Structure 1
Amino acid sequence: MSREDFFENIRNSTRLNHFANLVNLAAIDGDIKPDEEKLLKRFSRKFDVSEEAYDRILENPASFPVHAINLKTQRLEYLFDLLRIVYVDNEMDKAEEFLIKKYAVGLGFSEHKAKTILEKSKLLFENKFSFEFYQLFIESDHN
């Protein structure tokens, strides 16, 4: 196996594991709802998950471990994807909050950083931010 093939296998495994994490979060409160399934289908395409892998993951998402990710931007992107699944119903319950914090740590954030990011994310996803924050965000160079 070439070095390129080796790293491609790792990238594919990471995408499958991340997708399995998304499925775990969608299913945490029981059955996967139609809105959640629609979003999962989109993510399966984004992560290039085959139909066979999709079905296998839906059968047993917990069998896929969470892998730490070295790139901060990629960790944040994966966490953002998880938050989108959680907030598909516009709320985060205690079980989802516990699990997403656990995933954030699994992705490579420290316990403290995971808690901080989760609290900030909740403010944004629940639209509980001040006008000053909104103004700062809009006027900053986040493009």
Structure 2
Amino acid sequence: MSKEDFYENIRNSTKLNHFANLVNLAAIDGDIKPIEEKLLKRFSKKFDVSKEDYERILENPASFPVHAINSKHQRLEFLFDLLRIIYVDNVMDEAEEFLISKYAVGLGYSDEQAEAILEKSKKLFSNNFSFDLYLHFIESQDY
């Protein structure tokens, strides 16, 4: 499956907001560390973020706040979008896993819930599937 197929349902603004949220999470403990910036550069390519937008977001990540989402369905949909982007190359490395775990916690999941969702998601993302299947799989077991 081509990269374009993965992205067809993800609007550019959504990708930009996801990327900005990741920058926010990386900056939450102060300055963005060189290892975090290296990972963010990789994500900017996966998210098709322009150099101008990348610089603008890094310059002021707080201008793109992470909004709390009360809807369980919408939180899972945000994670699903992000996971699809991460798995465009069929791999999630440790740094990406760490950052998406922080993202899940930022969306309102506990550390334990984020870990459980991430483990299930890693099992699923070895194949291509719909959000409805993802939602059913995640909700079919307690986390």
Alignment of 1:74-93 (within 5 A): 74-93=74-93
SS in 2 for 1:103: helix
- Separation in structure 2 between the aligned mates of residue 56 and residue 68 of structure 1, nearest angstrom: 27
Query: Could you say which residue in structure 2 is the equivalent of 1:9?
Result: none
Equivalent residue in structure 1 for 2:55, among 45, 59, 63: 59
Unaligned runs of 5+ in 1: 1-13, 42-53, 128-136
Residue 28 of structure 1: CA displacement? 2.0
Query: Could you say which residue in structure 2 is the equivalent of 1:99?
Result: 99
Query: Could you say which residue in structure 2 is the equivalent of 1:123?
Result: 123
Query: Could you say which residue in structure 2 is the equivalent of 1:110?
Result: 110
Residue 67 of structure 1: CA displacement? 2.5
Q: Structure 1, residues 72-127: CA drift from partner, whole Å, max 9, x if none?
A: 00000000011011101110000000000000000011111110000000000024
For the 8 Å contact 1:22–1:81, the answer to whether it is kept is no
Query: Could you say which residue in structure 2 is the equivalent of 1:48?
Result: none
Alignment of 1:27-42 (within 5 A): 28=39, 30-31=41-42, 32-33=44-45, 36-37=46-47, 40=48
Counterpart residue type for residue 28 of structure 1: L
Unaligned runs of 5+ in 2: 1-13, 27-35, 128-136
Counterpart residue type for residue 115 of structure 2: K
- Separation in structure 2 between the aligned mates of residue 19 and residue 58 of structure 1, nearest angstrom: 9
For the 8 Å contact 2:22–2:99, the answer to whether it is kept is no
**Alignment RMSD:** 3.5
TM-score, normalised on structure 1?
0.55
Equivalent pairs counted in the alignment come to 100
Residues 106-115 or 64-73, more deviating: 64-73
Greater Rg, structure 1 or structure 2? 1
Counterpart residue type for residue 59 of structure 1: E
TM-score, normalised on structure 2?
0.55
Shift in alpha-carbon separation, 1:67–1:95, aligned structure 2, 3 A:
same
- Separation in structure 2 between the aligned mates of residue 78 and residue 113 of structure 1, nearest angstrom: 15
- Separation in structure 1 between the aligned mates of residue 16 and residue 86 of structure 2, nearest angstrom: 18
Q: Kindly, what percent of the aligned residue pairs are identical?
A: 63
Q: Structure 1, residues 14-39: CA drift from partner, whole Å, max 9, x if none?
A: 996435236889x7264444xx25xx
For the 8 Å contact 1:104–1:114, the answer to whether it is kept is yes
